[in-house]
Amino acid sequence: MTENVARRGFLLGGAVIGAGALVTACTSNEPAAPAAAASSAPAPAPAATGGNEAPGEKVVIGFSAPAADHGWIAAIAKNAETAAKQYSDVEFKPVEPTNDINAQISAVESLIAAKVAALVILPNDGQQLNQIARQASDAGIPVINLDRVFPDKLSYRTWIGGDNYGMGVAAGHYIGKTLKDKGVSNPVILEIQGIATLPLTQDRSKGFEDALKTYGFSVTAKQDAQFTVESGTKVAANLMQAHKKIDAIWNHDDDQGIGVLAAIKEAGRDEFFMVGGAGSANAMRDIKADNGVLKATVTYSPTMASSAIKLARLIAQGKGMSDLTENQVPQSITLASETITKENVDTYLPLGFES
């Protein structure tokens, strides 16, 4: 689906999220249109008649995530805690964040032993944490798998995360359309990835490639910057040195984008435009100021952690999502990747994270 296709969101405790079973790789710069009323619509099921925000059964929600050595990860933990505080019937039980696989496994084991009502886990590595998530599920604790997916579907009750392929599609359409509108032929398009070996990076690159093809364009060169500011600076400098003329750059990650933009400023280059990735507040402020090369970013929002906590609460209390007819929370929810430009940046700024 292209950025001109409208998407429909679903209300979950005041936050709009895309339903993965219905909307994937969707991008849109337009607000979702309200659904038209239909006299033939079925009556809502009892669990969907509202009241989800009212206090219910007291539940303890365990939370485990990597250490906050990255602006996006820091925002994940903050959003989860903030969402939990909205509910008087939720006791939030986070464990020490860590980038050590064995330490995260031990931390999750402690939450299982505590018999929490639900577990929200963003694993350092889905494959390596799969067994402990399965152990929780087998113990009757619903696991809400956040972002990095567990390979065994029996290891989690619901997965919620961003659309990496959709990020690439959104960036590709923005760059492709902008260059076409400018009448540019044979453009030099550069891509600065995160970590090239990760499936999420490969999905982003594939979406970007596929979208650019629809305009007859392709990536001239790409290099990974390891999701760090330092590598972003180095990689951007190398790419600019190798290409005396550039038309557009897509940088996968707004955190490493701080380094990319620093290198661009140092080089005094401004003949091209750039699109970022993830939706940091820093990037949004630059886009709003409109006094540099950064003209857009495509979202991979850490607000998914807020929604994960809300989902955990609903599942633990045996409730469904109030805007859906079904009594149960869906098994998979994929958030749409939105394109943020100066025209709509004010709408997204409150959701941005600080790099």
pLDDT in tens, 235-285: 999 999 999 999 999 999 999 999 999 999 999 999 999 999 999 999 999
Res 14 pLDDT > 50: no
Share of the chain above pLDDT 90, in %: 83
For residue range 156-214, list pLDDT tens digits in order.
Answer: 999 999 999 999 999 999 999 999 999 999 999 999 999 998 889 999 999 999 999 99
* β-strand pairing of 143-146 with 90-94: unpaired
Integer CA distances (angstroms), 201 to 7, 48, 166, 208, 224, in order: 24, 37, 12, 11, 9
**Left, alpha or beta for 290 (phi > 0: left; psi -120 to 50: alpha)?**
left
Share of the chain above pLDDT 70, in %: 86
- Report the pLDDT averaged over residues 98-104: 97
Strand partners, 158: 144
Res 29 pLDDT > 60: no
Question: 269-282 burial by CB neighbour count: b if 16+ within 10 A, else e?
Answer: beebbbbbbbbbbb
**Residue located via tokens 């956040």:** 146
Integer CA distances (angstroms), 238 to 231, 257, 264, in order: 10, 15, 11
With 0-12 CB in 10 A as exposed, 13-18 as middle and 19+ as buried, what is 39?
A: exposed
Tell me 256's DSSP state. Answer: H
Tell me what pLDDT residue 332 has.
Answer: 97
Is there a contact between 276 and 318 (Cβ–Cβ < 8 Å)?
no
Tally the C-alpha atoms within 13 A of residue 323's C-alpha that lie toward its C-beta: 14
- Angle (CA) 327 157 313, round 5°: 65
